[in-house]
C-alpha cells in the first residue's frame, strides 16, 4: 500500500528465499490484485581478467538512497496505478548465487505490474547511490560497473 514516508529498502546480506516467499504470500488477501511482477537480482560468478567473482560487497549512501527511492516509488505508483510496490536491496557481503535485489510490483492487471517492475529496476540501477565491490577468490577486488 502507498504511503508518504520513505521506507527502508535495505537488508543486511542476501535476500532469502523464505523472505521472498513470505512477501508474496502476504498478498493473498489483496483480492483486487490480478497481476504481480517480480525481479530478482542475483550475484553472478563473473570471470574478469582471469579472476572469478566470489561475492559482492554492497554499500550505499543510505539517507540519500531512501529519499531517492521514495521519489521513484511515487513516480512509478502514479504512472502505473499500482496496488503495491516493494523493493529490497542488500547491503554488506552477498556471495555468488545469492539474491541481492528483490523488486515486487502488483496491480489489478499484469501489464502495469510488469511494465512498472521493469522501469523500477532500471531506475534503481541508474539513480540510487548504491555501490558494489566485486570480491575475487584471491582476496583482491574492483568496484562493479553497471551495464545498461
Residue among 36, 72, 56 nearest 131 (CA): 56
Please count the structural domains in the chain: 1
- Among 79, 85, 83, residue whose Cα is nearest residue 104: 85
Asked if residue 96 lies in contact with residue 54, where contact means CB atoms within 8 angstroms, the answer is yes
In a domain, 31, yes or no: yes
Q: Is the per-residue pLDDT at 3 higher than 80?
A: no
What's residue 1's pLDDT?
44
Q: Is the pLDDT of residue 101 over 50?
A: yes
Spatial contact of 55 and 43, defined as CB atoms under 8 Å apart: yes
113 located within any domain:
yes
Question: Which one, of 106, 61, 103, lies nearest residue 81 by Cα?
Answer: 106
Classify residue 91: in a domain, yes or no: yes
Closest C-alpha among 11, 14, 10 to residue 98: 14
Q: What share of the chain is helix, strand, coil (3-state, %, to 5)?
A: 30, 35, 30
Whether residue 53 is contained in a domain is answered as yes
Q: Does the reported pTM lie above 0.75?
A: yes
User: Is 77 within 8 Å of 2 (Cβ atoms)?
Assistant: yes
* Residue 61 belongs to a domain: yes
Answer yes or no: is 148 within a domain: no
The whole-chain average pLDDT of the chain stands at: 92
Per residue in 116-130, pLDDT tens? Answer: 999 999 999 999 999
Residue 3 in any domain: the answer is no
Residue 1 domain flag: no
- Name the strand (E) or helix (H) holding 74: helix 62-80
Q: What is the DSSP pairing of strand 84-95 with strand 10-12?
A: parallel
The boundaries of the domain holding residue 57 are 10-143
Model pLDDT, residue 4? 58
Provide the CATH number for the domain around residue 103: 3.90.1170.40
Amino acid at each position: 500500500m502507498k504511503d508518504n514516508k520513505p521506507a527502508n529498502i535495505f537488508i543486511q546480506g542476501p535476500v532469502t528465499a523464505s523472505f521472498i516467499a513470505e512477501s508474496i504470500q502476504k498478498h493473498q488477501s489483496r483480492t483486487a490484485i490480478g497481476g504481480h511482477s517480480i525481479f530478482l537480482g542475483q550475484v553472478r560468478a563473473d570471470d574478469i581478467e582471469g579472476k572469478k567473482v566470489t561475492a559482492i560487497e554492497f554499500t550505499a549512501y543510505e539517507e540519500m538512497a531512501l529519499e531517492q527511492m521514495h521519489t521513484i516509488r511515487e513516480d512509478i505508483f502514479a504512472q502505473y496505478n499500482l496496488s503495491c510496490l516493494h523493493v529490497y536491496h542488500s547491503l554488506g557481503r552477498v556471495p555468488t548465487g545469492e539474491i541481492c535485489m528483490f523488486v515486487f510490483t502488483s496491480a489489478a492487471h499484469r501489464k502495469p505490474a510488469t511494465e512498472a517492475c521493469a522501469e523500477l529496476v532500471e531506475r534503481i540501477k541508474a539513480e540510487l547511490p548504491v555501490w558494489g565491490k566485486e570480491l575475487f577468490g584471491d582476496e583482491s577486488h574492483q568496484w562493479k560497473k553497471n551495464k545498461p
